[in-house]
């Protein structure tokens, strides 16, 4: 072979590798693919070709490959060879491996220029994309900065440097934020996709994590472990709340986040298109945490409902609009931050609701426990709000009530348990009655079927047309008001679908 050609291969590899910043191995693989593609076109019949280039000398050889398949599985003799035949050449070969034989390769200087260019460009592009994924895979969940390259229909493409681009979709951009080419932007890297086409790095300007990352960058006390960010909630571009927890009692968490004359929080607000940020002190007491999160409104009282995971928050009447915020913004952010459903109301509304609920509980106790209003009122005043509490609260807690003797407490607990059992039985009976009615829906659609018959059949486990079709006339005669003619018609109607496909 021509030594100049071999030397030219090595020079091409060196030049392209240096220019594109990808490894020489990628360029060698691209050249091998290009030469294999050109060699396949040189032959008239279909074949599988592999080209190997020596990485040191530039020498290249071409091989025709045959996949080893089961002895009776050869479908394409041009591409496959049976295991038995392959073992005559290589005894330890297995199914799925390849047998190769040397063939004449197309010369390097004769491969189609267009083919070579397409293959090499494609391989280089794949290598560059793989390098980007490799470089950023450990940075997912971090803050990423770049220069705006272009804006397309509200979607922003950022140039991150080193041939890396990131996309901020329109939905992940702050509403009405003015962005122009060459502006520098930060975003939260929330997703990396190693796909052959399209963007790979996806950023967000609206995620609460972006706010958290900005505070971690601006507030040294967080990085040093003196403060911890518990969570954040945002209305992007308008308002946000972030909860901080002190780990060192000597540190003022709110003051540290605000900074001297508000410098730290102002820098973050400027980064987020003027978004106003409330810094909330976290508290292990959920009710106190909610009270802090409702700032700047002052909470007068709060009632916690563990069962529905909600709280009734009462504020002064003149602060109601501030507590709710514009379009419910303040209470919505507080709810997202704390994880509780918050019902904001005035003191008067809270008192009325509490009084109404107390009356309902009072009536329940009087009816279910069969006690007078005075005794029921004592239970309500002592904080009991359900039969379950009375039935299962520790005995000594109820004995601490001044008016209650031990015999009375035991009797109340017994009545409460009986009432709960009665409720459970009634509820189960309702379900049992409702189930056949729901299950009998298919039977109701049959001509001649009545509601009563459908429910009785469903209670017997006959729920579908096929179930009914398998019954006899005698089976249906047990239904009230049924005669032989009606029974026969119902069964034949149910069996009609059996004969549809058998009609000539």
Q: What is the CATH number of the domain that holds 463?
A: 1.10.150.20
Per-residue pLDDT tens for 382-396? 777 777 777 777 777
- Please tell me whether residues 112 and 21 are part of one structural domain: yes
* Final residue in a domain of this structure, among 148, 182, 206: 206
Provide Rg for the chain, Cα atoms. 39
Lowest-pLDDT choice from 103-107, 113-117, 258-262: 113-117
Query: Does 105 score more than 60 pLDDT?
Result: yes
pLDDT, residue 340, reads 92
- Please tell me whether residues 40 and 100 are part of one structural domain: yes
Q: Kindly report the pTM of this predicted structure.
A: 0.60
The larger pLDDT score, comparing residue 69 to residue 406, is at: 69
- Please tell me whether residues 389 and 459 are part of one structural domain: no
pLDDT, residue 440, reads 61
Give the residue-averaged pLDDT of 376-387: 78
- Please tell me whether residues 455 and 393 are part of one structural domain: no
Residue 327 lies in a domain: no
pLDDT, residue 117, reads 61
* Final residue in a domain of this structure, among 160, 184, 206: 206
Q: How many CA atoms lie within 13 A of 502 on its CB side?
A: 5
Residue 306 lies in a domain: no
Query: Does 70 score more than 60 pLDDT?
Result: yes
Most confident of 97-106, 204-213, 371-380: 204-213
The larger pLDDT score, comparing residue 144 to residue 18, is at: 144
Query: What CATH number corresponds to the domain at position 193?
Result: 2.40.50.140
Question: 324 by DSSP, 3-state: which?
Answer: helix
Per-residue pLDDT tens for 154-175? 889 998 887 788 899 999 999 8
The larger pLDDT score, comparing residue 2 to residue 25, is at: 25
What's the pLDDT band for 502 if we cut at 50, 70, 90? very low
The total number of structural domains that make up the chain:
4
Q: In what helix (H) or strand (E) does residue 122 lie, and over which residues does it extend? A: helix 113-136
Residue 52 backbone phi and psi in degrees, to 5: -120, 130
Residue 217 lies in a domain: no
Query: Does 503 score more than 50 pLDDT?
Result: no
- Separation CA 486–CA 144 (nearest Å): 77
Query: Does 14 score more than 90 pLDDT?
Result: no
Per-residue pLDDT tens for 112-144? 455 556 666 777 777 777 778 877 888 888 899
Residue 92 lies in a domain: yes
- Please tell me whether residues 465 and 380 are part of one structural domain: no
Mean residue pLDDT of the chain comes to 82
- Separation CA 190–CA 25 (nearest Å): 32
Query: Does 211 score more than 90 pLDDT?
Result: yes
- Please tell me whether residues 21 and 117 are part of one structural domain: yes
- Please tell me whether residues 42 and 100 are part of one structural domain: yes
pLDDT, residue 1, reads 47
- Separation CA 345–CA 353 (nearest Å): 10
- Please tell me whether residues 29 and 106 are part of one structural domain: yes
Query: Does 110 score more than 60 pLDDT?
Result: no
- Please tell me whether residues 91 and 179 are part of one structural domain: no
Give the residue-averaged pLDDT of 100-114: 67
Give the residue-averaged pLDDT of 432-458: 71
- Please tell me whether residues 118 and 16 are part of one structural domain: yes
- Separation CA 206–CA 167 (nearest Å): 13
Residue 448 lies in a domain: yes
Query: Does 279 score more than 90 pLDDT?
Result: yes
pLDDT, residue 447, reads 82
pLDDT, residue 504, reads 41
Give the residue-averaged pLDDT of 168-187: 89
- Separation CA 84–CA 453 (nearest Å): 70
Residue 183 CB contacts under 8 Å (≥ 6 apart), including other chains: 147, 148
Cβ–Cβ contacts within 10 Å for residue 84, how many?
Answer: 10
Omega within 30 of 0 (cis) for the link into 117: no
User: Domain range holding 191?
Assistant: 140-206
- Please tell me whether residues 43 and 146 are part of one structural domain: no
Most confident of 9-23, 294-308, 350-364, 430-444: 294-308
Residue 222 lies in a domain: no
- Please tell me whether residues 42 and 118 are part of one structural domain: yes
Per-residue pLDDT tens for 242-252? 999 998 888 88
End-to-end CA distance of the chain: 76
């Amino acid at each position: 072979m021509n030594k100049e050609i071999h030397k030219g291969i090595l020079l091409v590899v060196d030049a392209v590798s240096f220019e594109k910043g990808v490894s020489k191995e990628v360029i060698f693989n691209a050249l091998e693919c290009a030469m294999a593609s050109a060699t396949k076109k040189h032959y008239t019949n279909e074949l599988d070709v592999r080209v190997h280039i020596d990485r040191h000398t530039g020498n290249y050889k071409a091989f025709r490959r045959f996949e080893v398949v089961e002895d009776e599985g050869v479908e394409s003799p041009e591409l496959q060879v049976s295991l038995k035949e392959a073992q005559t050449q290589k005894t330890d070969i297995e199914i799925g491996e390849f047998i190769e034989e040397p063939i004449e390769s197309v010369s390097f200087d004769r491969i189609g220029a267009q083919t070579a260019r397409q293959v090499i460009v494609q391989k280089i592009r794949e290598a560059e994309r793989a390098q980007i994924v490799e470089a950023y895979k450990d940075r997912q969940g971090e803050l990423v900065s770049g220069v705006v390259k272009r804006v397309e229909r509200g979607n922003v493409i950022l140039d991150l440097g080193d041939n890396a681009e990131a996309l901020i979709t329109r939905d992940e951009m702050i509403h009405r934020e003015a962005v122009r080419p060459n502006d520098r932007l930060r975003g939260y890297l929330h997703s990396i996709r190693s796909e052959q086409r399209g963007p790979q790095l996806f950023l967000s300007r609206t995620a609460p994590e972006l706010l958290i990352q900005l505070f971690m960058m601006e507030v040294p006390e967080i990085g040093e472990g003196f403060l911890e960010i518990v969570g954040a909630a945002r209305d992007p571009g308008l308002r946000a709340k972030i909860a901080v927890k002190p780990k060192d009692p000597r540190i003022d968490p709110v003051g540290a986040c605000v900074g001297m004359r508000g410098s730290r929080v102002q820098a973050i607000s400027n980064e987020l298109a003027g978004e106003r940020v409330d810094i909330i002190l976290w508290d292990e007491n959920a009710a106190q945490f909610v009270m802090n999160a409702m700032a700047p409104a002052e909470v007068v009282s709060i009632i916690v409902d563990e069962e529905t995971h909600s709280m009734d928050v009462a504020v002064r009447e003149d602060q109601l609009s501030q507590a709710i915020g514009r379009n419910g913004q303040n209470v919505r952010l507080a709810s997202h931050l704390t994880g509780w459903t918050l019902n904001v109301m005035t003191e008067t509304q809270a008192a009325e609701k509490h009084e109404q609920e107390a009356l309902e509980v009072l009536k329940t106790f009087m009816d279910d426990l069969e006690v007078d209003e005075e005794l029921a009122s004592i239970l309500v005043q002592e904080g009991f709000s359900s039969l379950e509490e009375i039935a299962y609260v520790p005995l000594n807690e109820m004995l601490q009530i001044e008016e209650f003797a031990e015999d009375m407490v035991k009797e109340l607990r017994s009545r409460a348990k009986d009432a709960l059992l009665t409720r459970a039985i009634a509820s189960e009976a309702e379900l049992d009655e409702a189930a056949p009615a729901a299950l009998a829906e298919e039977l109701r659609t049959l001509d001649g079927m009545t509601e009563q018959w459908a429910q009785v059949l469903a209670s017997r486990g006959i729920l579908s047309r096929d179930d009914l079709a398998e019954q006899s006339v005698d089976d249906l005669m047990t239904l009230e008001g049924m005669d032989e003619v009606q029974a026969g018609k119902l069964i034949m109607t149910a069996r009609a679908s059996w004969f549809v496909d058998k009609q000539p």
